[in-house]
């Protein structure tokens, strides 16, 4: 079962077909198309969509009129507008009327995927807010984090306490422990929950670009700066911004972020004036920041400004009793997502995975469960289905097992893609010591495109850094 549902509205049949073919596999979504505003309204009234991708200019009913009707029916609906390059002012007007974002035609496919991915993150957050308000949680599950151990119960209590304030939060923990989920939980439980949650993985953005991404820039600030552009802090105004892996940013960026915390203002590149912003900062790191301070790589004053309300996520090896619980939660989640009948984990498998030292923590365990679902023959997943061995580290079956030819086509394709990306991108990151920018250059992809593939297949650059 696809994770998201999209409604694409455009009066060009060829474009509708192209978007359906390209977006469904790349965004793990189901795309429904409409060739007119009237047809779109009919579909919208009978179905729920995570995202509406809407063309601005159409005969009979244009995009602005349709946007108004959609927003009137469902105020929280996420809508992204498509518009011609020369019609930017109209697109900005659409955003003032409730559109989440816009993209200009003709658009680059990778750029479109990135914009839609961000929009779908918003939709997922809205769904999570609804779920929290209605109280529909599974036992021992808290905003996507799972655990009954005292350590995790303390984490849940801390998140609730922190969310009730408006202070800066620093989330620490090893790679794969769920720092992003904790950040989203803080936002979803806070008074800012109905505003934007903007996330950026700091080390994946080159330093010379990160500043403009965060603070925006004025027209003429640098080559190709053809118009004024808001940064992520302005996009997150009145909401929250999540600075993932803050321990890897340069001292220069740290200085500018310190000013944001202290003065509640930013200075776009090329501007002589500052801009006031009302943003809650949530940061995370898997680094020992106190050690980084001793090495001269992290500002001490910035650390103390960040570390007002700390949340520490424990690794799996410190809470082995949670492993079977998390595994069962992930099993149910991914059986549903992959449209597979319900499966169970054998007692032998539960014993094996509990004894393992999961270097990649929950993210690595999740990859193992997904592969178990794909490779198991019956309704019980056994140790041989994910090749666990309590005497050594977990090894993905993708490294040594053939693809079962009795799988349905889409699942066999997904298993092959998982294997290819794990091996190919893993090799690139090993060669570049986890440097995503260099890895992208070696394989001929844009950095953001490689980052998107890594995110989809659970590949983390930190795992390859010495």
Compute the average pLDDT of residues 142-170. 91
* CATH superfamily of domain region 140-314: P-loop containing nucleotide triphosphate hydrolases (3.40.50.300)
pLDDT above 70 covers a percentage of the chain that reads: 90
Whether the CB-CB separation of 282 and 171 falls below 8 Å is answered with yes
The pLDDT of residue 403: 57
222: left (phi over 0), alpha (psi -120 to 50) or beta: beta
At residue 459 the predicted structure's pLDDT band, cuts being 50, 70 and 90, is confident
The topology (CATH level 3) of 4-127 is Rossmann fold (3.40.50)
The pLDDT of residue 466: 58
Token reading at 171: 């989330």
Tell me, letter by letter, the H, E, C secondary structure of 348-378: HHHHHHHHCCCCCHHHHHHHHHHHHHHHCCC
pLDDT for residue 398 is more than 50: no
pTM summary value: 0.62
pLDDT for residue 395 is more than 70: no
What is the domain partition of the chain in residue ranges?
A: 4-127, 140-314, 317-464
What are the backbone dihedrals phi and psi of residue 283, each rounded to the nearest 5 degrees, phi first? -120, 160
pLDDT for residue 133 is more than 70: no
- 79-122 pLDDT, tens digit per residue, is 999 887 666 677 677 777 888 888 888 888 888 888 898 888 87
Three-state secondary-structure class, residue 30 = strand
The pLDDT of residue 368: 87
Compute the average pLDDT of residues 188-197. 92
String of DSSP letters for 54-123? EES--SSS-HHHHHHHHHHH-TT--EEEEEEGGGHHHHHHHHHTT--EEEEES--HHHHHHHHHHHHHHH
- 308-324 pLDDT, tens digit per residue, is 999 999 999 999 989 98
pLDDT for residue 169 is more than 60: yes
Report which of residues 200 and 203 the model is more confident about: 200
Closest alpha carbon to 318 in 141, 155, 140, 139: 155
At residue 393 the predicted structure's pLDDT band, cuts being 50, 70 and 90, is very low
So what CATH class is 317-464? mainly alpha
Mean per-residue pLDDT of the chain: 84
Does this chain's domain 140-314 share its CATH topology with 317-464?
Answer: no
Distances from the Cα of 110 to the Cα of 83, 113, 310, 417, 420, angstroms: 17, 5, 36, 18, 20
Rounded Cα distance, 248 and 244, in Å: 9
The pLDDT of residue 86: 60
Vertex 235: Cα angle to 224 and 118 (nearest 5): 85
* Cα torsion 33, 35, 39, 40: sign: positive
């Amino acid at each position: 079962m696809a994770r998201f549902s999209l409604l694409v509205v455009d009066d060009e049949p060829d474009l509708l077909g192209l978007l359906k073919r390209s977006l469904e596999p790349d965004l793990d979504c189901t795309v429904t198309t409409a060739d007119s505003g009237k047809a779109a309204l009919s579909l919208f009234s009978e179905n729920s969509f995570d995202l509406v991708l809407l063309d601005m200019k159409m005969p009979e009913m244009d995009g602005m009129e349709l946007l108004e009707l959609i927003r009137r029916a469902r105020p929280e609906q996420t809508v992204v507008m498509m518009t011609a390059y020369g019609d930017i002012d109209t697109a900005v007007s659409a955003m003032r009327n409730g559109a989440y974002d816009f993209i200009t035609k003709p658009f680059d496919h990778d750029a479109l995927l990135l914009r839609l991915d961000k929009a779908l993150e918003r939709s997922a957050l809205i769904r999570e807010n609804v779920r929290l308000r209605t109280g529909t949680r599974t036992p021992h599950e808290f905003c996507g984090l799972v655990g009954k151990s005292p350590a995790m119960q303390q984490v849940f209590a801390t998140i609730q306490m922190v969310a009730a304030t408006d202070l800066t939060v620093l989330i620490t923990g090893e790679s794969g422990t769920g720092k992003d989920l904790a950040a989203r939980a803080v936002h979803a439980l806070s008074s800012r929950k109905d505003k934007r949650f903007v996330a950026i993985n700091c080390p994946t953005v080159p330093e010379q670009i990160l500043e403009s991404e965060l603070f925006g820039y004025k027209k003429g600030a640098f080559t190709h700066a053809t118009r004024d552009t808001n940064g992520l802090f302005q996009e997150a105004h009145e909401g929250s911004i999540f600075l993932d892996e803050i321990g890897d940013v340069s001292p220069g960026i740290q200085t500018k972020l310190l000013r944001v915390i202290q003065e509640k203002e930013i200075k776009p590149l090329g501007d002589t004036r500052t801009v006031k912003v009302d943003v809650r900062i949530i940061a995370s790191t898997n680094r020992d920041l106190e050690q980084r301070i001793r090495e001269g790589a992290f500002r001490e004053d910035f650390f103390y400004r960040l570390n007002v309300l700390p949340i520490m996520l424990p690794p799996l090896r410190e809470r082995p009793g949670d492993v079977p619980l998390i595994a069962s939660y992930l099993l149910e989640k991914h059986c549903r997502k992959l449209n597979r009948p319900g499966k169970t984990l054998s007692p032998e498998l539960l014993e094996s995975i509990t004894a393992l030292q999961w270097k990649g923590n929950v993210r690595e365990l999740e990859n193992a469960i997904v592969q178990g679902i794909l490779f198991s023959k019956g309704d019980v997943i056994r140790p041989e289905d994910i090749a666990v061995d309590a005497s050594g580290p977990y090894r993905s079956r993708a490294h040594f097992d053939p693809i079962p030819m009795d799988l349905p086509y889409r699942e066999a394709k997904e298993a092959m893609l998982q294997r290819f990306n794990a091996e190919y991108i893993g090799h690139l990151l090993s060669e570049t010591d986890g440097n995503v920018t260099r890895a992208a250059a070696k394989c001929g992809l844009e950095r953001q495109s490689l980052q998107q593939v890594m995110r989809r297949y659970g590949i983390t650059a930190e795992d390859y850094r010495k």
